[in-house]
Amino acid sequence: MIKRRIISALIAIGFGAPLVIFLGPYAIYFFTLLIAAGCLYEYFSMIMGKQYSKSIRLTGVLIGVLIIFFSIFFKFALVSALTIGLMFYSIYFLLRSKKYPNDLNPASGFKLGKIMSDLSLSLFGILYFSVFLAYFPMLRDTYDGLKWVITLMAVIWIGDTGAFFMGSKYGKTKLFNVVSPNKTIEGSLGGLLFSFIAVLLCKLIFFHGLDLIDCVNIGILGGAFGQIGDLIESMIKRSVSVKDSGAVMPGHGGFFDRFDALIFALPFFYFYAKFFF
């Protein structure tokens, strides 16, 4: 398993890193939209399953991607885009439920409680991915944005690899058994250690503006936010009895499996870069 994870990660880094470095901000814009589309489709597929038509899932994906698109090119319109997008999707869901009640709950027909529950889950997904991922291009557009993006990826993915390795080798004490039985406190602490080492490497290699306090804050807090994002995804998957959100990368699962930690850590990195640099 760990060999497949490392190989897949190296392929992704080898393909993505040159694009991110040489194509400038537009590479991040493209990747953000791609990640959002993949995560949203997997999310809707998990929570809705086969009892919903594909048009409902694709509509949710489209709304989420458009929100990020407007936030990238018209940052002042983010709140407006959120409002319009959510209003449109809510109205669409409402009209769909009236015209095709069995499409929402084929087993027992029209149920207001079921529809409201599904609508709430759908809106949560749109907000979760669109709002959080909107910070990716915003982070890239900050001062030293490229350095921050690379540091973010290093903290999250090196930390994730460290947590997996340390947990597999030394893990004994369960971290959050109800949500993720395989995660351990030892693995979590190991992941934070690896995240801190990742920041130190970034400082030594290219991000010389960071001091030791920054390395501690970014490594420990950034790594912790990433682990929280991982747990949130585990909670969602466990609630719908799904092991992986998809099968895009061998050993890693789907888009959501790969970017769950990064998504949740993005706002922290953006605000840290914005307010302390």
Q: How does residue 107 score in pLDDT terms, banded at 50, 70 and 90?
A: very low
Per the prediction, the chain carries an average pLDDT of: 81
pLDDT value for 85: 75
Q: Are 35 and 259 in contact (CB under 8 A)?
A: yes
Whether the pLDDT of residue 81 is over 50: the answer is yes
The pTM for the full model equals: 0.84
Residue burial 225-259, b: 16+ Cβ < 10 Å; e: rest:
bbbebbbbbbebbeeeebeebbebbeebbbbbbbb
Q: Is residue 243 helix, strand or coil?
A: coil
Annotate 162-184 with DSSP letters as a single string.
HHHHHHHHH--SEEETTTEEEEE
Whether the pLDDT of residue 83 is over 70: the answer is no
Whether the pLDDT of residue 80 is over 80: the answer is no
C-alpha torsion sign, points 243, 158, 36, 89: positive
Q: Is residue 253 helix, strand or coil?
A: strand
Least confident of 22-26, 171-175, 264-268, 271-275: 22-26
pLDDT value for 199: 96
Q: Are 136 and 32 in contact (CB under 8 A)?
A: yes
Print the domain residue range for 198.
2-276
Q: How does residue 39 score in pLDDT terms, banded at 50, 70 and 90?
A: very high
Q: How does residue 110 score in pLDDT terms, banded at 50, 70 and 90?
A: very low
Instruction: Classify residue 183 as exposed, middle or buried by CB count within 10 Å of its CB (0-12, 13-18, 19+).
Output: buried
- Give how many domains the chain has, as a whole number: 1
Whether the pLDDT of residue 16 is over 80: the answer is no
pLDDT single digits (tens) 151-181: 999 999 889 888 988 888 888 888 877 778 8
pLDDT value for 104: 47
Angle between helices 25-48 and 2-22 (to 10 degrees): 140
Q: How does residue 106 score in pLDDT terms, banded at 50, 70 and 90?
A: very low
pLDDT value for 114: 65
Q: Give the mean model confidence (pLDDT) for residues 83-101.
A: 67
